[in-house]
Amino acid sequence: MRLPIYLLLVISILLLCSSCQNVSQGNTSQEDRPPNVIVIFMDDMGFGDLSSFGHPTIQTPEIDRIAQEGQKWTNFYTASSVCTPSRGALLTGRYPIRIGLGPTQSNKRVFFPNSLGGLPSSEITIAEMLKEQGYKTGIVGKWHLGHQPEHLPTTQGFDSYYGIPYSNDMDPVGGWKLESFFMKPDHNKWNVPLMQDEEIIERPANQHTITKRYTEKALEFIEENKADPFFLYFPHSMVHTPIFAHKDFVGKSPRGLYGDVMAEIDWSVGQVIGKLEDLNLDKNTLVVFTSDNGPWLVMRETGGSAGLLADGKGTTWEGGMRVPGIFYMPGTVQSGTITDIGSTLDLLPTIASMTGATVPEDRTIDGYDLSDVLKNKSSSPRDHMIYYRNQDVYAVRKGEYKAHYITETCYALDTGREELEEPLLYNLNVDPSEKYNHASDHPDVLSDLATLVAEHKISVKSVPNELNKY
């Protein structure tokens, strides 16, 4: 039986309207919902290890693209020059000394496989803050904030976890030997576990394929949570030595294996951005790319580069704590190079501002809300940075000037701690390599910096030390 023409017309209009409604509902929910957040956090990648930050032979076109189209911060700092305190500070917006992660012993600056401590459960992480807003939360990669069951990521606001619980050089088979880092990479030499939520699923973790597998998990997480606001914390375990690249990348870079590993990381960043574009989520997702501390210089060619900055990981010279900072969100983050000061401490308040979440009000938050810089390229609300090594303030920066009160060089080639009788003073805008001391020319600046440090110290309360629990 043939339907009358008017009935066909009515059915067609109804079908058309219903599909219009679906499209319009889809768009509305996409635009109305708060933005997703992805934090890609490198391990031991130095200020000079990206092509967009001046490396002459490492090629990172995908990362360079988001730096070019987003904001590239050139005075961006971590709150510590080693892994554990740096990660705690990023997730809580608080200096490590406030959260039990300010070390008291030079050989216990991070958690080791026999550690019992962790980020205290009383601390509020970005994941916990966003869960209050209904976000889906996941971590893929290296945790390093306590691996006892009560300290795993799933106790700190993350719905899911896939990754290694501490550094990729820990639990070395036959003991820790510097030479083993310079030999042909063999993941069996490091008995590092790979975990899914609370379970160990592989040991030793095959680190040759770890970046690839992290990337697959990250893409899965995005796909599975595309219908809801999500927070993905993506801390890679590379380029912390021992370094490993998938065979598809080995031998590709003139920089050697380190360049190959960076090429694979760059591919991974491209995959994440591509996934967001495919799902039409790129304009509603804030992507942050940075590093936990500077390059591990004692690892020679298998470690990274701080470029023109002095020294590296473990120190309070610029190379230890100044890292590339990149923010990307097309249509929201105004592109450009930002030379004002920013820090990983600022991510919590910035993310709160951009998602409508509430910054914890019952505690000192050391971070500043950078969202107005991201959206309007206004001046950064952060004008200073305090450089801790362990429990001590070694240095402070305010504006262009940085004073050092205590100096100490790189981690394992320790030349000794020196408490200076007279502080050193460098103008970091003019002299980013900290070569020319101008302390005697600016007693007023030194006095101002000393006041800032004294006021900060008054605000620090003593808390139980988590790094000494064994």
Annotated catalytic residues are: 83, 144
**Nearest approach, Cβ of residue 87 and Mg ion (Å):** 8
Q: Which of 176, 179, 210 is nearest to 190 (CA)?
A: 176
**Nearest approach, Cβ of residue 66 and Mg ion (Å):** 22
Distance of CA 366 to the CA centre of its chain: 16
**Segment interacting with Mg ion (CB under 5 A) among 39-47, 180-188, 268-276, 356-364:** 39-47
Does 445 contact Mg ion by CB under 5 A?
A: no
Residue type, 356: G
Contact pick of 35, 43, 125, 305 for Mg ion (by CB under 5 A): 43
Residues 346, 348: Cα–Cα separation, whole Å:
6
DSSP 126-171: HHHHHHTTT-EEEEES---S--SGGGSGGGTT-SEEEE-SS-TT-S
**Segment interacting with Mg ion (CB under 5 A) among 78-86, 88-96, 206-214, 347-355:** 78-86
Contact 338, 71 (CB under 8 A): yes
Stretch 344-383: interaction string toward Mg ion, x if CB under 5 A: ----------------------------------------
Contact pick of 293, 316, 344, 409 for Mg ion (by CB under 5 A): 293
**Segment interacting with Mg ion (CB under 5 A) among 77-85, 206-214, 352-360, 421-429:** 77-85
List CB contacts of 395: < 8 A, sequence separation 6 or more: 316, 386, 387, 402, 403, 404, 405, 406
Residue nearest to Mg ion (CB): 83
| Closer CB to Mg ion, 303 or 360, in the complex | 303
| Closer CB to Mg ion, 46 or 100, in the complex | 46
Cα end-to-end span (Å), the chain: 83
Residue 96: how many CA atoms within 13 Å on its side-chain side? 32
Record the tokens describing residue 459, joined without a space: 């605000």
**Nearest approach, Cβ of residue 347 and Mg ion (Å):** 17
The residues facing 256 across adjacent strands are none
**Nearest approach, Cβ of residue 320 and Mg ion (Å):** 11
Residues 230, 35: Cα–Cα separation, whole Å:
8
| Closer CB to Mg ion, 88 or 360, in the complex | 88
**Nearest approach, Cβ of residue 311 and Mg ion (Å):** 15
**Segment interacting with Mg ion (CB under 5 A) among 43-51, 112-120, 345-353, 462-470:** 43-51
Contact pick of 38, 44, 165, 449 for Mg ion (by CB under 5 A): 44
Q: Taking the alpha carbons of 289, 292, 296, 299 in that order, is the dihedral positive or negative? A: negative
Record the tokens describing residue 249, joined without a space: 């990348």
Contact 296, 240 (CB under 8 A): yes
Does 159 contact Mg ion by CB under 5 A?
A: no
Rg (CA), the chain: 23
**Segment interacting with Mg ion (CB under 5 A) among 24-32, 90-98, 156-164, 285-293:** 285-293
Tell me how many residues contact Mg ion (CB under 5 A).
Answer: 5
Helix (H) or strand (E) holding 342: strand 336-343
Stretch 199-228: interaction string toward Mg ion, x if CB under 5 A: ------------------------------
Contact pick of 292, 366, 369, 466 for Mg ion (by CB under 5 A): 292
List CB contacts of 241: < 8 A, sequence separation 6 or more: 44, 169, 181, 296, 299, 302, 303
**Segment interacting with Mg ion (CB under 5 A) among 38-46, 52-60, 115-123, 190-198:** 38-46
Contact 43, 235 (CB under 8 A): yes
Does 83 contact Mg ion by CB under 5 A?
A: yes
**Nearest approach, Cβ of residue 293 and Mg ion (Å):** 5
Residues 316, 394: Cα–Cα separation, whole Å:
7
Report the interface residues with Mg ion, using CB under 5 A: 43-44, 83, 292-293
